[in-house]
Amino acid sequence: MKLRFTERLRKNYESAPGPVRKAFEKQMKLLAADLRHPSLRAKKYDVVNNVWQGRVNRDWRFYFTIESDPYTIIALTPHPK
């Protein structure tokens, strides 16, 4: 699967700490290979807008849409605990 990154995601990525960026890159490889990979913990976040949430690490999440190919990665944010 191909991935497309929004400008918002690019800004989020640039402002994220180094270890988060590294973990995000690893998770993007997993997402491109298999949406159901266990470490992604991907789930539908907003059914109406078809937004999904995936896990970067314990404290960070990324959001994306699935409209066939490519997946569009929208944002990278700290987890709203």
Amino acid 56: pLDDT: 98
Q: CB within 8 A of 19, min separation 6: which ones?
A: 57
Tally of domains within the chain: 1
- Domain carrying residue 70: 3-78
CB 79, CB 16: distance < 8 Å: no
| Domain CATH code at residue 15 | 3.30.2310.20
Residue 71 CA to residue 80 CA, distance in Å, equals 23
pTM of the model: 0.93
CB 52, CB 62: distance < 8 Å: no
Amino acid 75: pLDDT: 97
Q: CB within 8 A of 16, min separation 6: which ones?
A: 24, 60, 76
Walk along the chain (81 residues) and give the pLDDT tens digit of each residue: 899 999 999 999 999 999 999 999 999 999 999 999 999 999 999 999 999 999 999 999 999 999 878 999 999 999 976
